[in-house]
């Protein structure tokens, strides 16, 4: 724009003709401008159009009416004193320029509060005296944006801090639970040795208590570990093919004894149409159902717990499996149902505080199901019972229907499995166990002692390498978590230094971590197989029988002298009882001591059980009757009383089929025989 154009005052619009040039310019300025007297009156001598608009006024008259035409009237009453003091201070301290800058609120004509910034300048004008002339602008939006920005910045910072804290918490939980697992496994392992080596019933009882408490601690720690994994987004669903039958059998065998202990009947209802093999994360599916079943048993005092699995829908490649766990327990109040899936929430604590648990089981189930595209749901009636259920879509690997399945089938499998897992010895085998914790070495050595293998130990990766280069090993157990050189590093070194030997030596990873995905990680790293600590005897046997050379494994049954030794520890009278097979009993119980304990417990419980069965008949409590004869069936089998066990089984089947006549006809003779067994046992054991 040309200089002349701007200052061509001759072209002023006609309506401004009565204004001075300077007034007109001030009037035309796009920003707010006003002049007021620098005395007590603070009278506003001039305000331009933009200034009036800032106050929501169209004319100077409106502005005067709103503010009383004074500077005091322009400023929000709450801000005025501060603004005045600030202006005076700035002017006094800046004699040369006599400038001030303040920010304050105003009240517009429409009642809205706005923020202004105000550049003022003190001046002494010849014709009017002392004045301030002031440039103002409405900075409300800038302030708002700034405030918003500041708020966002703070929120972001708070979020970052919270995330950081959460990460720290998750990693603390995960590390702690991992670290806690290691000593617990050592305690449980040592305890296992005590159980094997002690004959003293009191010590066996203490040791049993340690086992129970240790296992429940281990469960809690595993829950915390899972939970922190979920929080950290590290929990993965690892899919593979699995057998529905195996899941059901495992669940039954895991849970049945707990139900039995509480006098609850455990019902398994399986849809015969379920496909035999599915694809999914078997470990996690089992974990969820186990959790629901364990809860059902924990929170039920009498009655039954039912696992019901059906095929809800079948598409070409997938099956929708409906899983339901029903109980007749304490139930959940309607208003508490919403808290069920919140971490660390326990409900109805007046009734549940004595029951083991930390309130993580259901949140974990819910999260895992969420990852599988499903959702855990619940129906419950307080004091009547609860039903937890979910639908799971799984790919079908083998569409062949699972067929009719009863609890008996599943139990038979358990019994078969236990006889399958009889001990063996392998005196020609030489193995190496590597673990940096001497106690862990001792535990595993202790567990393996009965196999009579030659056992070498090493407490570091370096020592392992050394021994591996000297001796031929049939098998190596290698701890994963070791200082300096961990399991995987050691494995790599073994391979590099002795590739040929490495090729022929099975190396089993030992870890305290039972997290899903660990197995794949270990196998991926080159381990032959994987065992979690605390080492479970049957898994250990499975590994040994799988990887030791067949010709070195001698089943213990063939070792006549061993067996005779064991049997020689038993009172001779037992062998005179025609209904008892002590040899079979010892096989079931593990050793002579445990067998004697089992016999004593069996004999001791007879009177109570007889009374219980009679009460059941009087009260027509068929469910309890079934549970009781079922328990007798199992315990009789365990002590080697197969004939009597079969009689109990016949009664169990009759009661399941509700054949009351058979029950009433056969029970008296059964009880009489039961009593006779007790008399026999008491006599035989009196000398023990």
Toward ligand ADP, which CB reaches closer, 363 or 461? 363
- Does position 217 interact with ligand ADP (CB under 6 A)? The reply is no
Measure Cα distances from 360 to 228, 514, 662 in Å. 11, 17, 47
Nearer Cβ to ligand ADP, position 292 or 606?
292
CB closer to ligand ADP, 340 vs 613: 340
- Nearer to ligand ADP among residue 196 and residue 346 (C-beta): 346
In the complex with ligand ADP, the residue whose CB is nearer, 120 or 331, is 331
Q: Is 340 in the site for ligand ADP (CB under 6 A)?
A: yes
Binding ligand ADP (rule: CB under 6 A), the pick from 231, 327, 436, 581 is: 327
In the complex, the smallest distance separating the C-beta of residue 260 from ligand ADP, rounded to whole angstroms, is: 18
When the beta carbons of 356 and 615 are compared against ligand ADP, the nearer one is: 356
DSSP percent split of the chain into helix, strand, coil, nearest 5: 55, 20, 25
**Contact with ligand ADP (CB under 6 A) among 37, 109, 286, 346:** 346
Stretch that binds ligand ADP, among 11-19, 143-151, 342-350, 442-450 (CB under 6 A): 342-350
Stretch that binds ligand ADP, among 11-19, 210-218, 323-331, 570-578 (CB under 6 A): 323-331
- For position 330 contacting ligand ADP by CB under 6 A, the verdict is yes
Q: How many residues does the chain have?
A: 688
| Residue pair 186/437 in contact by the 8 Å Cβ criterion | yes
Distances (CA, A) of 173 to 165, 200, 220, 224: 12, 39, 12, 7
The CA-CA-CA angle for residues 587, 589, 593, to 5°, reads: 110
Alpha carbon distance 386, 365 (integer Å): 16
Which residue, 106 or 221, has its beta carbon nearer to ligand ADP? 221
CA dist., res. 364 & res. 224, Å (int): 9
Q: Is 332 in the site for ligand ADP (CB under 6 A)?
A: yes
Q: CB of 184: closest distance to ligand ADP in angstroms?
A: 18
**DSSP state letters, 205-227:** HHHHHHHHHHHHHHHHHHHHHHH
Question: Is 207 one of the binding residues for ligand ADP (CB under 6 A)?
Answer: no
Q: Count CB neighbours of 250 within 10 A.
A: 18
Residue 357 is a binding residue for ligand ADP (CB under 6 A): yes
Task: Considering the complex, state which of residue 326 and residue 519 has its C-beta at the smaller distance from ligand ADP.
Answer: 326
Count of Cβ atoms closer than 10 Å to residue 67 Cβ: 20
**Cα–Cα distance measured from residue 390 to residue 387, given in angstroms and rounded to the nearest whole number:** 10
Q: Does 306 bind ligand ADP (CB under 6 A)?
A: no
CB atoms < 10 A from the CB of 446, how many? 16
| SS3 per residue for 142-206 | HHHHHHHHHHHHHHHHHHHHHHHHHHHHHHHHHHHHHHHHHHHHHHHHHHHHHHHHCCCHHHHHH
The residue among 383 and 611 lying less far from ligand ADP, judged by its C-beta, is 383
Give the shortest CB-275-to-ligand ADP separation in angstroms.
Answer: 28
Binding-site string for ligand ADP from residue 274 to residue 303, where x marks contact by CB under 6 A and - marks none:
---------------------xx--x----
Size of the site for ligand ADP (CB under 6 A): 21
Cα dist from 470 to 414, 464, 498, 552, 641, whole Å: 42, 10, 11, 21, 51
Out of 51, 73, 329, 487, the residue judged to bind ligand ADP by CB under 6 A: 329
The only residue of 348, 428, 584, 666 in contact with ligand ADP, by rule CB under 6 A: 348
Applying CB under 6 A, the span of 28-36, 39-47, 356-364, 637-645 interacting with ligand ADP comes to 356-364
Beta-strand pair 475-479/507-511: parallel
If we measure between CA atoms, which residue out of 372, 371, 395, 391 comes closest to residue 279?
395
**Which value, to the nearest 10 degrees, does the dihedral of the CA atoms of residues 613, 618, 619, 624 take?**
20
Contact call for residue 361 and ligand ADP (CB under 6 A): yes
Between 332 and 624, name the residue whose CB sits nearer to ligand ADP: 332
Radius of gyration of the chain (CA): 42
- Per rule CB under 6 A, is residue 358 in the interface with ligand ADP? yes
Among residues 433, 448, 440, the alpha carbon closest in space to that of 534 is found at 440
Q: Identify which of residues 217 and 556 has a Cβ nearer to ligand ADP in the complex.
A: 217
512 binds ligand ADP (CB under 6 A): no
**Given 32, 120, 359, 585, the residue binding ligand ADP (CB under 6 A):** 359
Rounded least distance, CB 252 to ligand ADP, Å: 18
Restricted to residues 52-71, the positions that interact with ligand ADP (CB under 6 A) are none
- Strands of 498-642, DSSP E: 507-511, 529-532, 554-555
By beta-carbon proximity to ligand ADP, the closer residue of 514 and 612 is 514
Least distance in Å: CB of 333 to ligand ADP? 10
Nearest residue to ligand ADP, scored by beta-carbon proximity: 357
Pick 326 or 678: Cβ nearer ligand ADP: 326
Does 222 engage in binding with ligand ADP (CB under 6 A)? Answer: no
Write down the least CB distance from residue 343 to ligand ADP, Å.
8
How far apart, in whole angstroms, are the C-alpha atoms of residue 455 and residue 433? 7
CB 218 within 8 A of CB 251: no
Which window, 326-334, 475-483, 513-521, 657-665, contacts ligand ADP (CB under 6 A)? 326-334
Name the token pair of 286. 């089992």
b/e code 648-663 from CB counts within 10 Å (16+ = b) = bbebbbbbbeeeeeeb
**Interaction between residue 264 and ligand ADP (CB under 6 A):** no
* CA–CA separation, 481 and 510 (whole Å): 9
φ/ψ (deg, to 5) at 346: -120, 140
Q: Judged by CB, which is closer to ligand ADP: 295, or 513?
A: 295
Helical (H) or strand (E) element with 566: helix 560-568
**Residue reference for tokens 């648990």:** 357
Query: Which is nearer to ligand ADP, 331 or 487 (by Cβ)?
Result: 331
Choices 104-112, 119-127, 341-349, 406-414 (CB under 6 A): range interacting with ligand ADP: 341-349
Stretch that binds ligand ADP, among 8-16, 360-368, 457-465, 552-560 (CB under 6 A): 360-368
Nearest CA-CA partner of 36 in 62, 73, 77, 66: 73
The DSSP string of 473-524 is: -SEEEEES--SSS-HHHHHHHHHHH-HHHHHHS-EEEEES---TTHHHHHHH
Counting contacts by CB under 6 A, is residue 120 touching ligand ADP? no
> Is residue 448 a contact partner of residue 427, using CB atoms and an 8 Å limit?
no
Map the footprint of ligand ADP across residues 362-421, applying CB under 6 A. 362-363, 386
Cβ closest to ligand ADP, residue 348 vs residue 445: 348
Residues binding ligand ADP (CB under 6 A):
295-296, 299, 327, 329-332, 340, 346-348, 352, 357-363, 386
């Amino acid at each position: 724009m040309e200089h002349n154009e701007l200052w061509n005052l001759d072209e002023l619009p006609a309506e401004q003709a009565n204004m001075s040039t300077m007034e007109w310019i001030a009037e035309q300025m796009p920003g707010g401008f006003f002049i007021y007297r620098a005395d007590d009156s603070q009278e506003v001598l001039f305000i331009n159009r933009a200034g009036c608009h800032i106050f929501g006024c169209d004319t100077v008259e409106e502005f005067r009416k709103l503010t009383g035409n004074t500077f005091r009237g322009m400023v929000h009453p709450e801000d005025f004193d501060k603004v005045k003091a600030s202006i005076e201070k700035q002017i006094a301290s800046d004699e040369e320029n006599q400038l001030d800058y303040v920010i304050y609120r105003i009240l517009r004509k429409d009642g809205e509060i706005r923020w202004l910034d105000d550049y003022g300048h003190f001046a002494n004008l010849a014709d009017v005296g002392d004045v301030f002339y002031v440039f103002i602008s409405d900075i409300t939006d800038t302030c708002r944006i700034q405030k918003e920005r500041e708020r966002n910045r703070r929120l972001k910072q708070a979020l970052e801090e919270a995330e950081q804290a959460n990460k720290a918490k998750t990693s603390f939980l995960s590390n702690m639970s991992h670290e806690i697992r290691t000593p617990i496994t050592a305690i449980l392992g040592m305890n296992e040795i005590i159980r094997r080596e002690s004959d003293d019933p009191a010590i066996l009882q203490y040791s049993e208590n340690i086992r129970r408490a240790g296992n429940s601690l281990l469960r809690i720690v595993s829950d915390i570990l899972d939970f922190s994994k979920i929080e950290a987004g590290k929990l993965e669903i690892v899919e593979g093919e699995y057998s529905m039958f195996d899941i059901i059998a495992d669940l039954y065998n895991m849970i049945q004894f707990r139900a039995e202990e509480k006098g609850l009947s455990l019902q398994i209802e399986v849809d015969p149409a379920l496909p035999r093999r599915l694809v999914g994360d078997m470990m996690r599916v089992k974990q969820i159902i186990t959790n629901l079943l364990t809860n059902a048993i924990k929170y039920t005092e009498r009655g039954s717990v039912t696992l019901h699995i059906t095929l809800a829908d079948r598409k070409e490649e997938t099956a929708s499996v409906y899983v339901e766990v029903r109980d007749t327990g304490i139930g959940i109040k309607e208003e508490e149902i919403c808290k069920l899936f919140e971490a660390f929430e326990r409900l109805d604590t007046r009734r549940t505080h004595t029951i083991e648990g930390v309130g993580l089981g259901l949140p974990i189930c819910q999260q895992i199901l969420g990852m599988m595209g499903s959702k855990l749901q619940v129906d419950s009636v307080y004091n009547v019972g609860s039903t937890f259920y979910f639908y799971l879509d799984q790919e079908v690997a083998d569409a062949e229907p699972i067929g009719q399945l009863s609890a008996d089938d599943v139990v038979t499998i358990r019994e078969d499995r236990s006889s399958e897992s009889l001990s063996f010895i392998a005196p020609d085998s030489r193995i190496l166990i590597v673990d940096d914790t001497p106690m862990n070495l001792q535990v595993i050595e202790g567990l393996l002692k009965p196999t009579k293998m030659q056992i070498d130990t090493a407490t570091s990766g370096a020592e392992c390498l050394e021994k591996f280069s000297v001796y031929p090993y049939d098998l190596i157990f290698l701890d994963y978590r070791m200082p300096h050189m961990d399991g995987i590093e050691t494995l790599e070194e073994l391979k590099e230094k002795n590739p040929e030997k490495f090729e022929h030596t099975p190396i089993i990873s030992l870890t305290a971590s039972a997290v899903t995905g660990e197995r794949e990680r270990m196998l991926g790293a080159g381990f032959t197989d994987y065992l979690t600590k605390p080492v479970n005897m049957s898994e250990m046997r499975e590994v040994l029988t799988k990887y030791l050379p067949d010709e070195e494994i001698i089943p213990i049954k063939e070792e006549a002298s061993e067996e005779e030794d064991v049997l020689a520890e038993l009172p001779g009278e037992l062998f005179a009882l025609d209904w008892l097979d002590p040899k079979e009993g010892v096989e079931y119980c593990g050793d002579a001591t445990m067998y004697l304990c089992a016999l004593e417990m069996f004999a001791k419980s007879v009177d109570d059980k007889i009374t219980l069965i009679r009460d059941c008949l009087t009260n027509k409590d068929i469910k309890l009757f079934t549970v009781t004869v079922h328990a007798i069936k199992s315990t009789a089998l365990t002590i080697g009383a197969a004939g009597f066990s079969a009689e109990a089984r016949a009664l169990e089947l009759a009661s399941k089929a509700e054949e009351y006549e058979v029950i009433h006809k056969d029970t008296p003779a059964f009880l009489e025989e039961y009593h006779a067994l007790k008399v026999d046992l008491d006599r035989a054991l009196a000398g023990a």
